[in-house]
A and B are shown apart, each in its own frame.
Chain A
Amino acid sequence: AQSVTQLGSHVSVSEGALVLLRCNYSSSVPPYLFWYVQYPNQGLQLLLKYTSAATLVKGINGFEAEFKKSETSFHLTKPSAHMSDAAEYFCAVSLNTGNQFYFGTGTSLTVIP
């Protein structure tokens, strides 16, 4: 079975500060991991994905995430927050392109000017 836990339903950072959103997964087989962003009243946009090619994954908008098998984690980071980063972020796990995604409950990011 696969599942995802996102620690912290709300995270606030100052503009220019480091963004760290936490995600831990549980999977009976090697997982594929994803981070999606959702802006108000919109669908989900893929930020980045881990597909076993490299443990440090770079995505769009300056975000990156590191897959740590020993910690079963896939935390999302960005060195310097921008006002436009304010959104809901979801971590997800899947087994392959034909399988469903299991999503975490989401983390709402607020950026303080």
Chain B
Amino acid sequence: DAGVTQSPTHLIKTRGQQVTLRCSPKSGHDTVSWYQQALGQGPQFIFQYYEEEERQRGNFPDRFSGHQFPNYSSELNVNALLLGDSALYLCASSLLAGLWEAGDEQFFGPGTRLTVL
């Protein structure tokens, strides 16, 4: 099992551009969550996808959007990039109706490091 995978590993963009990040969940997981981790900070929840729909959303502007595909993989899109969007973007997969006791916690991918110049 490859666990949660993310691509690309690193990305450099300029202000105003658009970016797409990709995530493949752990085998058997049906839910994907995205987090933004700014330098020196803890991860902040962006949104969560389940059954190809946005299920929960954190305090992020509409420039941040996402998608989930029938195979449960997901994309995070950010439009009109700002310098402040530079961060490590983490994808986490989980089982929506899982049990903590059964080990159904969120598994995190290695992240995509986005630098906006």
Contacts and interface: CB of A to CB of B under 8 A. Distances in A.
B90 A43 contact: yes
Contacts of B31: 98
Contacts of B71: none
Given A51-B100, A104-B42, A97 B105 contact: yes
B45 A106 contact: no
Chain B interface size, as a band, is: 20 to 34
A106 B38 CA distance: 12
A97 B99 contact: yes
B74 interface: no
Interface residues of A, number: 26
Given A42-B110, A43-B110, A49-B100, A99 B42 contact: no
A105 interface: yes
Contacts of A17: none
Contact of A100 (B33, B42, B110): B33
A44 B45 contact: no
B58 interface: yes
Interface in B76-117: 90, 92, 94-101, 104-111, 113
A100 B104 contact: no
A100 B100 contact: no
Contacts of B105: 34, 46, 49, 97
Interface of A: 32, 34, 36, 41-46, 49, 51, 53, 90, 92, 94, 96-106
